[in-house]
Amino acid sequence: MFVDSHCHLDRLDLSPYEGDLNLALEAARGRGVHRFLAIATSLEGVPNLAEIARQHDDVDISVGLHPLHEVSAEPDSEAIQACADRYGAVAIGETGLDFHYDSVPRDIQRQRFVAHLRAARELELPVVIHTREARDETLNLIREHVDPKVGGVLHCFTEDLAMAREAVRSGFYISLSGIVTFASAGALREVARQVPLDRLLIETDSPFLAPVPHRGKPNEPQWVVEVAECIASERGITVDEVAMQTRANFYQLFPGCAPGGQSDNPFV
């Protein structure tokens, strides 16, 4: 069975499913995807994610503010913690640094990232990190603020093997998305081959970055299978091996998602 370790269930294109998220999730379950981590990009969106999780036993949620999401007032670490506690989050994020765009100034991104890292450390929750063109600062802040016994994941990884190895040494997992299937992603497929299998996760980041042969369409959780198939091909192993190991990795990193590990929070 597969796990989609990073999807935005509140942002899916549901037009193929008559606007019904249940049908989109059933399509994924029909292909063997039986766990979904719904990732927050803003604190105001968390209640909706929590309601989705309440309706589906196989959905868990994170709490966080995307580095490029513009807000009128920055949440501090205490506000992030309070939101995570209230809604039973199993992770903090997505958070991080994205220096490719300038919609949010870099100094604000840094402050926001540190607030999330402090919240994650205080709550002993793993952190879901978005990083783009900010390699050194991301790694330095991880080393400074993250407990390696709790760790986290560099999601939708697009950097090089050297960064992946540094992150693994700091207690992190590397999550590969549909980008690994793109013809131009040779360096990323090297990451897929070389990172230890017990440190890999798979994700869709849906509705973004649909894998080949669906590239150009709105992404769906069911297409995490294509990501697993690509990794299996690159490593010369079976898709079942990729599915089983990445599923085990997921529960190792996110123990709150494991059977019996869910929060008692009434929202979930």
This prediction's pTM: 0.95
Q: What is the pLDDT of residue 259?
A: 77
Provide the CA 56 distance to its chain's centre, in angstroms.
18
Tell me the pairing of strands 172-176 and 200-202: parallel
252, with CB counted inside 10 A (0-12, 13-18, 19+), is middle
Q: What is the pLDDT of residue 260?
A: 65
Residue from 42, 57, 54, 55 nearest 11 by CA: 42
Task: Break the chain into its structural domains and give their ranges.
Answer: 2-213+224-257
8 A C-beta contact, residue 10 and residue 41: no
Per-residue CA distances from 104 to 66, 100, 147, 175 (Å):
10, 11, 27, 25
Q: What is the pLDDT of residue 263?
A: 43
Number of H helices, E strands in the chain: 9, 8
Tokens of 250: 């997921």
Q: What is the pLDDT of residue 102?
A: 80
Q: What is the mean pLDDT of each run of 10 residues along the chain (268 residues)?
A: 97 97 98 98 98 97 97 96 98 97 94 98 98 97 96 97 97 98 97 98 98 97 98 98 98 91 41
Q: What is the pLDDT of residue 264?
A: 37
Domain 2-213+224-257: what homologous superfamily?
Metal-dependent hydrolases (3.20.20.140)
Residue from 101, 107, 161 nearest 130 by CA: 101
Q: What span, in angstroms and rounded, lies between the C-alpha atoms of 157 and 190?
A: 12
Q: Can you tell me whether residue 260 is helix, strand or coil? A: coil
